[in-house]
Structure 1
Amino acid sequence: MSTPEEGKCPVNHGDSNHGETIHSINEHIQNGTVENATNSAKCPVMSGARTGINNETKNWWPKSLKLEILSQRDSKVNPLDEDFNYKEEFLKLDLEAVKSDLKNLMTDSQSWWPADWGHYGGLMIRLAWHSAGSYRNADGRGGSNTGNQRFAPLNSWPDNVNLDKGRRLLWPIKKKYGNKLSWGDLMILAGNMAYESMGLKTFGFGGGRVDIWSPEIDTYWGSESEWLAPSGVEGSRYSGERDLENPLASVMMGLIYVNPEGVDGNPDPLKTAHDMRVTFKRMAMNDEETAALTIGGHTVGKCHGNGDATILGESPEGANVENQGFGWINPQGKGHSENTVSSGIEGAWTTNPTKFNNEYLDLLLNYDWALTKSPAGAHQWEPTNLPEEKKPFDAFIPNVRRNPIMTDADMALKMDPEYRKISERFLNDFEYMSDTFARAWFKLTHRDLGPKDCYLGADVPAEDLIWQDPIPKNTTVLSDAEIADLKNQLLNSGLTRTELINTAWDSARTYRGSDYRGGANGARIRLAPQKDWKGNEPERLQKVLHVLANIKTQFGKEVSIADLIVLGGTAAVEKAAQDGGFNMEVPFLQGRGDATDEMTDVESFEDLEPIHDGYRNFLKENYSVNPEELLLDRTQLMGLTAPEMTVLIGGMRVLATNYGGTKEGVFTNNPGVLSNDFFVNLTDMNNSWNPNGENHYNIVDRKTGATKFTASKVDLVFGSNSILRAYSEVYAQDDNKEKFARDFIKVWTKVMNSDRYDLK
């Protein structure tokens, strides 16, 4: 499938490491000339610890654990002032003025990159689409909420060819409004205004995307070492019949969605329909939303393939300095306009490509189409019996009509039985199609922005949507005395401190900063699917929830289960610190609400299931990726740094919070007491560390030979990795016992409140 401007959205485009577009690489695939990619370990989650790090240190010590993903958002790379607050700045923005400027931009064609039919709508929609379309539900990574399309690898993906021009066209507007408008917000808003300028009533817009300032290295885009590596070769993201590796959504390295020429460049609309279904499901889209996005995306704009794709210049990241960040320089003819080459496919989908109407479905369903090739040699479909007056005019040559085109993904809507039913309904009810598309477009461009509390601006829709994970507002205010009373009830409820801590942790650990989903607010740990997750120990969980429900019922004032879950963990940690000799208060922020089943998209929440959690020494299964690397993945998603991870692990171990009550890493003779014993015993050279089975080690007294403790690889990496050992030694020092307790409480509180966007 493709998006407006380039036959993209499940698309292709552009340049490989050798300056080839998707089409030219498809030819190599079919001729058997693509080199096999190197196969790397597969895992049901992204392994950011292994992603994008090919420096000399990695080559010298390939087993070394790399911690860069925990420090990539270092404030030292941010050029804005330390006290800069984007929310405050955005709320000063004249949003209507920005929208007006964007609509004016759409028809202000520039000589250095002229607009098709004098309208940049297709390009701006594709820019927004590809900014948002890299999102995947499995780990919440990708998407537009960081403005990451400005940086490699996304700025140089084959599928993003010529989007560098779209960003440069937006630069005068970004320059004008400055810090009040992030690149992430600007690109999405430009797509909205493009649609509105062509006749679509959009569903709304929410600002709030905060830009990053350096490339992301936490996102696993696939293990292939070549752009657009086909399925079936070593290193492919597919196994079995056609099982796509998790958490990936796109079918090839360098694509946003599916190949517009067909699976591995071989046209077959029914096979392409399968890829579309899988890819869009991994973006939490159903069949109707997928069809609507394809139709609405291809109702406007065109694909570009009028030239030789193999002679395009390097992508932006590899281009010469004089190109000033421009890539894919085209030496043919004008290098743009009628000579533009992007996807390799050439042509518009509809008769009037600058108007949002129902022409796409009329042409697709009511006329016959035959497989042909573009001037660049790319596979595309063209009509065999279309009246001349229904053909679109050339985008630049006056009074010349051209055949419209369809990609393999477009033909899937005609040939796949389920997509066909949906398409026919849309054809017969344009108003319904327009509304369905507007909602799907809003979901596509806002899915990674988190709950509605994160949305900014006057155009935020009032309607609560289930994919936004709505939570009822809790307006009850508890006094300090009432909170103290509840703490006392929780600690004397018959539940152990470990049970209270683990329930609070399990409720909060689902939070992921990639798309701001999960967390303790809403108490969805009470609901399906979370209540049945193996990692949540359902039997223990139900026991705790039953006790909390009784406390809620008997308390003289309304209190949410979500607050009670967090308060129970807070009270238990506070008591553990007191037992360790530290009279420290653990902060508690009240005001959480309790979500209901009706507010919960069960299917999409299944992707938040913790199948590993190093903080509780839990692995659902044995994976090819090391447990310590999985720990880094979870830590990064939770928004924690390496020092925070270190102190949190040390505290969780001595508090005896392991899954199933196992003893690995509980390096203390006083479990349940908040102390620095984990680090003291980890760094004690009177001990030796002996393997005793897979991911199991004995901590042995060197003099007596007696086993003192047991450990997992996650535990021992804090003594073996040079950076983590440096942190561990800080907390093992005699003068840092109080610092350890203070730092642990600070990180614990951060985890409990990570999802409190209602207070931010």
Structure 2
Amino acid sequence: MDGNNIGKCPVMHGSVTETGASVMDWWPKSLNLDILHQHDQKTNPLGADFNYAEEVKKLDFEAVKADVKALMTDSQDWWPADWGHYGGLMIRLAWHSAGSYRLADGRGGGGHGNIRFAPLNSWPDNGNLDKARRILWPVKKKYGNKLSWADLILLAGNMAYESMGLKTYGFSFGREDIWHPEKDTYWGAEKEWLAPSDTRYESVENPATMENPLAAVQMGLIYVNPEGVNGQPDPLATAGQVRETFARMAMNDEETAALTCGGHTVGKAHGNGDASTLGAEPEAADVENQGFGWVNPNLGGKATNAVTSGIEGAWTTHPTKWDMGYFKLLFGYDWELTKSPAGAQQWQPIDIKEEDMPVDATDPSKRVMPMMTDADMAMKMDPAYRAICEKFMADPAYFDDCFGRAWFKLTHRDLGPRTRYIGPDAPKEDLIWQDPIPAGSTGYDVAAVKAKIAASGLSLSDMVATAWDSARTFRNSDLRGGANGARIRLAPQKDWDGNEPDRLARVLATLEPIAAETGASVADVIVLAGNLGIEQAAKAAGYAVEVPFAPGRGDATAEMTDAASFEVLEPLADGFRNWLKKDYIVAPEEMLLDRAQLMGLNAHEMICLIGGMRVLGTNHGDTAHGVFTDKVGALTTDFFTTLTDMSYKWEPNGDGTYNIVDRKSGAVKHTATRVDLVFGSNSILRAYAEVYAQDDAPEKFVCDFVAAWTKVMNADRFDLA
């Protein structure tokens, strides 16, 4: 026993940063693979056999809705409801759960109940939403695993609106909870909450220069700063930020105006007190708070005393009623800047009539001043938003419909296609943002199609690369993209650099007639061609395999495709085909991990696919980097055996590529990129590579490659789940 440690506690103390206990803390430039395993099955207490999509169908949907509506007016002493109605709080909970969605990478959103975990549960903009989740707990407790938190949170927003008079557009169940925070999602580089937004813009005066894939203007906000750009009121400048951030969340100007106006038709903001007296956020709070943050010592059981954003007041005269009151006040009065009791910048009406003032949230005998945020004033002062609002005011039914549809889009954007919708209130209408795809045929002769492909003269690399390019757009984050629909035939995908447009056009010119002759969809034929290439490559390596195939993909049309929305799916890099569109600040190997995670791959699936794609000769532009084999087109383990062969040394060329040099002769045997060499340099990835470099690995490698390939080809086949 080490005498120096006698009497010392055997438990490590301090934070990771203080102790240096983390590998990433010791070596911060190491490639962090955690993103590939952020939802490891070991974190799920429900077990691998639990199927939420089947369990939720067993719910009594009407009973659930009735229970959620009932709690809206069941005010609790520990967190009293404004005017005795939790509607505004539940709408904010649903909104902020869904509102973290961003179009660029499909991450964020309400589809997994991520708002339960850090950092989202402790963002300043999500202040006191911990109380809303606790208020919902009796319903979650009652229905158990048949009702996910993700579904319940968004359902609560719908029921809040319906309880206050809005006929919503619809609702679908089917969101499965995660059990661990998505800690590797990039929310920004800032190290402090609400750091000036300049840090994520090239120029804060030009909102379009915000760093991708970010959408919110500051760390810890869902959208924009309600007090103005960097807290300085200027409605026209705020309008620019509102427009950009909502566009990055897949909303156009009309949807943005509808959501802003409809969201502020009910409820209130809270800033009637001293924000400095609030306790720490949930993740920093002491254990006796039991997950509650922002403890308010001055609440005193009164809704009026709550402090959240620091802004204080309701937007309308009747904050628990769906009506046109927002427009009546915003456009019926002139407004001036003032400050809330908590010191926040806000706007108040000039010479408001007493009957237009809302009553106090706790004491209905008192009238109080309404308010508007800088974003609300943007709806009045920005010409485009004002014109939309005037259209809404002239036709309240149109406003109701626009808001209902925009709210549905906000809360369902990352649920995936309509085929995944569950429950009696799921709308039947196909919406363009759902990326609709018609049903495909399953009645054709698969063997005959494969025979025609085999006789077509297409090369193995043509078949495999085209199938890969069609399928690799899939994003597990919001379930968009993938091979189903064969949108690789359509704008914008047919013209993407990463899809090698000339080669793609040539391959499609061969495959499309085969689809027409056989009754198969082009989408199915593209995947079948890739499968055939894999089978040929396995045979060349000495193994007879049949790649699993399920017919039934459909072919989308241009009319079913929002081309502008698909632009964000364009790959800027594809490590699987050893391609970069250009040099980026982010290392190629980090971009590979990001792409692999979006595709739903884990580390060993990623490395297996990389090794196979290299020896199949599927590199973009037919480059030889990483093709560590003399038997191109055979599904061998040569990539791994070469990578781990110490008879070679690796020498940089100074241009991002490397030579693989025979130590004895000095001859250059192969070339490589960083993406190739990371599988030998990173200790975790090398461990996987060594598995496939072993003498007993070839058959396992073929089986593993086929399984990973099939996973990618079927990633968007939700009908097969």
- TM-score, scaled to structure 1: 0.91
Aligned residue type for 1:546: A
Distance 2:63 2:695 in 1: 60
The answer to whether the 8 Å contact 2:578/2:675 transfers is: yes
The answer to whether the 8 Å contact 2:626/2:671 transfers is: yes
Aligned residue type for 2:435: D
The answer to whether the 8 Å contact 2:302/2:362 transfers is: no
**What's 1:149 paired with?**
115
1:491-510 equivalence runs, <5 A: 491-510=454-473
**What's 1:171 paired with?**
137
Counterpart check, 1:267 vs 2:233 = yes
Counterpart check, 1:554 vs 2:520 = no
Deviation at 1:698, TM superposition (A): 0.3
The answer to whether the 8 Å contact 1:655/1:671 transfers is: yes
Distance 2:20 2:358 in 1: 48
1:299-698 equivalence runs, <5 A: 299-334=265-300, 336-478=302-444, 482-555=445-518, 558-698=519-659
Query: What is the aligned length?
Result: 701
Distance 1:154 1:130 in 2: 9
Distance 2:91 2:202 in 1: 30
**What's 1:125 paired with?**
91
User: Structure 1 residues 240 and 302 mapped into 2: Cα distance closer, same or farther (>3 Å)?
Assistant: closer
**What's 2:4 paired with?**
none
Deviation at 1:82, TM superposition (A): 2.3
User: Structure 1 residues 732 and 239 mapped into 2: Cα distance closer, same or farther (>3 Å)?
Assistant: farther
Distance 2:502 2:363 in 1: 71
The answer to whether the 8 Å contact 2:282/2:294 transfers is: yes
Aligned residue type for 2:672: A
Q: Secondary structure at the match of 1:636?
A: helix
Distance 1:347 1:240 in 2: 29
Question: Cα RMSD over matched residues?
Answer: 1.2
**What's 1:701 paired with?**
662
Deviation at 1:194, TM superposition (A): 0.2
Distance 1:210 1:231 in 2: 33
| Percentage of matched positions with identical amino acids | 67
Q: Secondary structure at the match of 1:394?
A: coil
Q: Give the number of the structure with larger relative contact order, counting CA–CA contacts within 8 Å between residues 6 or more apart.
A: 1
**What's 1:38 paired with?**
none
Aligned residue type for 2:618: T
Distance 2:257 2:516 in 1: 47
**What's 1:8 paired with?**
none
User: Structure 1 residues 366 and 303 mapped into 2: Cα distance closer, same or farther (>3 Å)?
Assistant: same
Distance 1:677 1:336 in 2: 71
Distance 1:495 1:733 in 2: 33
Structure 1 unaligned blocks of 5 or more:
1-52
Distance 1:218 1:486 in 2: 43
Deviation at 1:160, TM superposition (A): 0.2
Counterpart check, 1:757 vs 2:715 = no
- For residues 268-323 of structure 1, the C-alpha deviation after alignment (integer angstroms, 9 at most, x for no partner) is 00000000000000011000000000010000000000001122110000000000
Distance 1:511 1:208 in 2: 19
Aligned residue type for 1:580: A
- For residues 688-732 of structure 1, the C-alpha deviation after alignment (integer angstroms, 9 at most, x for no partner) is 000012320000000000000000000001011111111101101
Distance 2:599 2:38 in 1: 14
Distance 2:322 2:531 in 1: 54
Distance 1:618 1:333 in 2: 58
**What's 1:744 paired with?**
705
The answer to whether the 8 Å contact 1:367/1:383 transfers is: yes
Distance 1:513 1:522 in 2: 17
- For residues 87-127 of structure 1, the C-alpha deviation after alignment (integer angstroms, 9 at most, x for no partner) is 11000011110000011010111111110000000000000
Deviation at 1:397, TM superposition (A): 1.6
The answer to whether the 8 Å contact 2:358/2:370 transfers is: yes
Distance 1:540 1:376 in 2: 62
Aligned residue type for 2:720: L
Deviation at 1:549, TM superposition (A): 1.6
Q: Secondary structure at the match of 1:449?
A: coil
- For residues 649-685 of structure 1, the C-alpha deviation after alignment (integer angstroms, 9 at most, x for no partner) is 0000000110000000000001111100000111000
Counterpart check, 1:184 vs 2:150 = yes
Aligned residue type for 1:310: S
**What's 2:126 paired with?**
160
Distance 1:213 1:123 in 2: 24
Q: Secondary structure at the match of 1:371?
A: strand
**What's 2:16 paired with?**
none
Distance 2:299 2:426 in 1: 45
Aligned residue type for 2:381: M
Distance 2:22 2:203 in 1: 31
1:84-123 equivalence runs, <5 A: 84-123=50-89
Distance 2:177 2:515 in 1: 42
Distance 1:504 1:410 in 2: 48
The answer to whether the 8 Å contact 1:237/1:252 transfers is: no
Structure 2 unaligned blocks of 5 or more:
1-18
Aligned residue type for 1:190: A
- For residues 391-412 of structure 1, the C-alpha deviation after alignment (integer angstroms, 9 at most, x for no partner) is 1000102310011100000000
Q: Secondary structure at the match of 1:307?
A: coil
The answer to whether the 8 Å contact 2:464/2:529 transfers is: yes
Deviation at 1:76, TM superposition (A): 1.0
Deviation at 1:611, TM superposition (A): 0.6
Q: 2:196 aligns with which of 218, 230, 235?
A: 230
Deviation at 1:77, TM superposition (A): 1.1
Q: Secondary structure at the match of 1:656?
A: coil
Counterpart check, 1:208 vs 2:174 = yes
**What's 1:711 paired with?**
672
**What's 1:76 paired with?**
42
User: Structure 1 residues 54 and 220 mapped into 2: Cα distance closer, same or farther (>3 Å)?
Assistant: farther
Deviation at 1:238, TM superposition (A): 4.3
**What's 1:27 paired with?**
none
Counterpart check, 1:195 vs 2:195 = no
The answer to whether the 8 Å contact 1:689/1:697 transfers is: yes
- For residues 602-656 of structure 1, the C-alpha deviation after alignment (integer angstroms, 9 at most, x for no partner) is 1110000001110001111100110000000000000000011111100000001
Aligned residue type for 1:406: M
User: Structure 1 residues 707 and 335 mapped into 2: Cα distance closer, same or farther (>3 Å)?
Assistant: farther
Deviation at 1:62, TM superposition (A): 2.1
Deviation at 1:249, TM superposition (A): 0.4
Deviation at 1:476, TM superposition (A): 3.4
Distance 2:364 2:60 in 1: 39
User: Structure 1 residues 68 and 335 mapped into 2: Cα distance closer, same or farther (>3 Å)?
Assistant: farther
